[in-house]
Amino acid sequence: MRITFRNLTSIYHQNTPFEHLALNDINTTFEEGVYYGIIGHTGSGKSTMIQTLNGLLLPSRGEVHAGDILLKKKSKQKDIHQVKKHVGMVFQFPEHQLFEETVLKDVMFGPKNMGMDEVVAQEKSEYYLNLLSIDESLFQSSPFDLSGGQMRKVAIAGILAMEPEVLILDEPTAGLDPKSHIETMELFQRIHQEMGITVILVTHDMNDVFEYTDYVKILSGGRLVREGRTIDLLTDEKMLGRFALEAPDIVKLAHDLEDKGIVLDEIPRNVGHFTE
Ligand code: ADP
């Protein structure tokens, strides 16, 4: 599913004294099957952008085209529901949203809620729990008896079992130890590659941006200030200067690549260009 923002503006508490412009006239596209990173300082509009992508927030002005569905300020619940069905969101600390009596019931909740048949929902839930290495012996346990890492996997399985075409990850590794961090990111990478789904990662971790994403969109003060191939950031002196403190390994990698004359041709060039 391709998602396009047309002149999208998002204002909190519109027409009140607390009115706040969070996204300002954004035009951009998320193409099918691409791994995107959204970066920007706190308050730049990342979270507003991803909530607008899956219909949790409606535009104040402008439009969101999600496949054939059009979302506007006054869209109907039916259209919003359709978008939510196709665009899955892994929130920060997703384990906080577990609530059912058993692990299996928790994972099945989303798919059933989306209208999936009970038997199919169970099959898919078991499949994704297995994929996330949750042992079958735990399926009937309470999710609250699991370790923190296992709880997060169960919550992620619940999103995957809905089989979204677009998967949004909001700081998915927050609070994880380095080993679980890598495991989680590798899992999303596998899902992206094997299932061909679009992934949209919001993160402050520049190493993850360079390791996993193909394209980056950079927000600042509610505006989309730049977008383009991640690899092009590596060859951009100004951007490298900005990342030098946050991600010294990446700067080193960029220089190594340059020294070796390596061009990463496998990344398609047709999606976007830096716009600054
Ligand atoms: P980020 O995810 O990049 O930190 P947000 O999208 O959360 O940015 O916020 C964008 C701007 O909108 C910020 O200035 C923030 O203070 C404001 N904002 C976010 N949520 C609300 C809200 N519920 N009510 C009012 N202002 C908000």
- Both structure tokens of 67: 């496949």
In angstroms, what is the span from residue 262 Cα to ligand 1's centroid?
40
Q: Which fold has domain 3-92+171-260?
A: Rossmann fold (3.40.50)
Instruction: Give the per-residue pLDDT at 27.
Output: 97
Ligand 1 cavity residues, CB under 6 Å: 12-13, 20, 22, 40, 42-48
Q: Which of 23, 48, 60, 170 to mutate to test the pocket of ligand 1 (most atoms within 8 A of CB)?
A: 48
User: Among 81-85, 109-113, 202-206, 267-271, whose mean pLDDT is lowest?
Assistant: 267-271
Please state, in angstroms and rounded to a whole number, the distance separating the CA atoms of residues 249 and 229: 19
**pLDDT score of 86 more than 60:** yes
Please state, in angstroms and rounded to a whole number, the distance separating the CA atoms of residues 138 and 257: 45
CA distances from 30 to 81, 165, 209 (A): 19, 12, 16
Q: pTM for the complete prediction?
A: 0.87
Mean pLDDT of the chain: 87
Instruction: Give the per-residue pLDDT at 241.
Output: 61
Q: Which of 20, 21, 60 to mutate to test the pocket of ligand 1 (most atoms within 8 A of CB)?
A: 20
Instruction: Give the per-residue pLDDT at 274.
Output: 35
Please state, in angstroms and rounded to a whole number, the distance separating the CA atoms of residues 125 and 237: 46
* Percentage of residues of the chain with pLDDT beyond 70: 84
User: Among 62-76, 118-132, 198-212, 232-246, whose mean pLDDT is lowest?
Assistant: 232-246
pLDDT tens-digit readout, 199-254? 999 998 888 998 899 999 999 899 998 888 888 876 666 666 665 555 556 666 66
- Interface predicted TM-score (ipTM) over 0.90: yes
User: Where along the chain do its domains lie?
Assistant: 3-92+171-260
Please state, in angstroms and rounded to a whole number, the distance separating the CA atoms of residues 118 and 116: 6
How wide is the angle at C-alpha 175 spanned by C-alphas 148 and 132, nearest 5°?
50
- For the CA of 202, the closest atom of ligand 1 is 2
In angstroms, what is the span from residue 38 Cα to ligand 1's centroid?
15
Please state, in angstroms and rounded to a whole number, the distance separating the CA atoms of residues 261 and 253: 12
In angstroms, what is the span from residue 53 Cα to ligand 1's centroid?
15
| Residue of the CA atom closest to atom 15 of ligand 1 | 43
**pLDDT score of 272 more than 60:** no
User: Is the model more confident about 256 or about 179?
Assistant: 179
**pLDDT score of 79 more than 80:** yes
**pLDDT score of 275 more than 60:** no
85, exposed or middle or buried, with CB in 10 Å at 0-12, 13-18, 19+? buried
